[in-house]
Amino acid sequence: MPLYEYKGINRAGKNVRATIDADSVRTARSKLKKDGIFVVELKDKAKAKATGRKNVATGKSVNVQDRASMTRQLASLLKANIPLVDALAATADQVENPVLKEAVSDIKNMVNEGVSLDKALQKYPKIFTNIFVTMCEAGAASGTLDVILIRLAEFTEAENELNAKVKSAMLYPIIMVLFVFAMLGVLFIYVIPKMQTIFESAEMVLPWYTQVVIGLSGFLVNYWWLMIGMIVLSVFVFRNWKNSESGSKSWDKIVLKMPVVGKLARLIAVSRFTRTLATLLAGGVPMLQAMDIVKNVVGNSVLATAIVDARNNISEGESVAVPLKRSGQFPPIVIHMITIGEKTGELEGMLTQVSDSYDFQVKTQIGGLTALLEPVMIIMMGVVIGIIVFSIMIPMFDMASLGNR
């Protein structure tokens, strides 16, 4: 039971300051009134201590898997007809993540004081997304909050699995590139300058390719700071451009037109669109509101613009499929499935089938891309290092042959 600190005036007119146990602020005030105390200030002791130090939960995010697990636990308790406040309290006790535990405890206190669940969740936007809040609002209004929470847990886990696949696919090429740069750094900064000293002492006439390699080495040794500065500046300029409105649109268009990568980016965006829209519609969220939310999760401004245009046309009475088809950004199979779903009244089911199919395609493409990248990266690394070694070894062989004469 929460412990409240209060300041007040008793019947004798004296100032009093103490603590009291109560289920809520309202109950605490009622108890103090019965005791003849006029309350001047009343606050949750746990919250007071939290504000005395840095608040752990506000402004912090949590692991997706922790949030999904918490959501499943809360759904199970609600399905067992346990009141929401008690279910939140039990869930907070089971949660191990300290940030999430504090957030759920605070949400429980707010709900206990009469705040709606969706309003309480909005206090923690880093933990509970707009989709999560909207679904909970719809679930509470329709009396199906337990079902909605299960859908949210499944949706969160599916998104997490897809994101993990994408990140793991990116990890290997990044490691390989870093390894190649480390190897080249060692060769250019340490090995080649020592070989240059040997060649100069032998007064050899070096081939043009060896001179090029030695020239690059000398530039890196003498102007490494300039190279690092150029890289940092280039990254800074690119990020600023990419984060600008016009730059973001241009970059997203470029990504979609890239070979291999463009197709994968579109698959991921369409998968997010269909799965999120299916989850929102199944949760009772109106179509127009669902389209407003789903445009923010596709991760590509080109497709987001197409969704906004479709949303505007839908508000004027058009079907979902027609404006999406007109945009030219969604594959024909997606348009076809949405058309069938609208005609049969099974739009959520059709969208779920599409998202499952696209998730499978994303995983397959990522697996194929990873399998292709491995030999390509190894060959590229071997060619680059081989050229450098060749440029150094040929003069060494010439030195050896001259020494044997």
Q: Where are the domains of the chain?
A: 3-52, 64-128, 155-405
Q: What is the per-residue pLDDT for 402?
A: 59
Q: What is the per-residue pLDDT for 236?
A: 94
Q: What is the per-residue pLDDT for 35?
A: 82
Label residue 12 by pLDDT band (50, 70, 90).
confident
E strands, 10-151, are: 15-21, 38-44
Report the alpha-carbon distance of residue 336 to residue 352 in Å, rounded: 14
Model-level pTM greater than 0.95?
no
Residue 373 has pLDDT above 80, yes or no: no
Q: Which of 289, 267, 292 is nearest to 356 (CA)?
A: 267
What is the average per-residue pLDDT within 361-382? Answer: 81
pLDDT digits over 149-186, tens only?
Answer: 888 888 878 777 777 777 777 787 788 888 888 888 88
Report the alpha-carbon distance of residue 336 to residue 321 in Å, rounded: 8
The distance from CA 375 to its chain's CA centroid, rounded to whole angstroms, is 29
Tokens of 326: 């007109």
Q: Which of 343, 337, 341, 317 is nearest to 325 (CA)?
A: 337
What is the CATH class of 155-405? mainly alpha
Q: What is the per-residue pLDDT for 240?
A: 92
pLDDT digits over 77-107, tens only?
Answer: 988 888 888 899 899 888 888 888 888 988 9
Q: Among 233-237, 351-355, 363-367, which range has the highest average pLDDT? A: 233-237
Q: What is the per-residue pLDDT for 56?
A: 47
Task: Say if residue 330 is exposed, middle or buried (CB neighbours under 10 Å; 0-12, 13-18, 19+).
Answer: buried
CATH number of the domain at 3-52, please?
3.10.20
Residue 237 has pLDDT above 90, yes or no: yes
Lowest mean pLDDT among 47-61, 131-145, 288-302, 361-375: 47-61
pLDDT digits over 48-73, tens only?
Answer: 544 443 444 555 778 888 888 898 89
Is-contact 82 57, C-beta < 8 A? no
The distance from CA 394 to its chain's CA centroid, rounded to whole angstroms, is 51
Tokens of 176: 């390989």
| Dihedral over alpha carbons 307, 312, 315, 321 (to 10 degrees) | -40
Report the alpha-carbon distance of residue 372 to residue 389 in Å, rounded: 26
Lowest mean pLDDT among 56-60, 131-135, 198-202: 56-60
Q: What is the per-residue pLDDT for 46?
A: 55
Judge if 3-52 and 64-128 fold alike in CATH terms: no
CATH architecture of 64-128: Up-down Bundle (1.20)
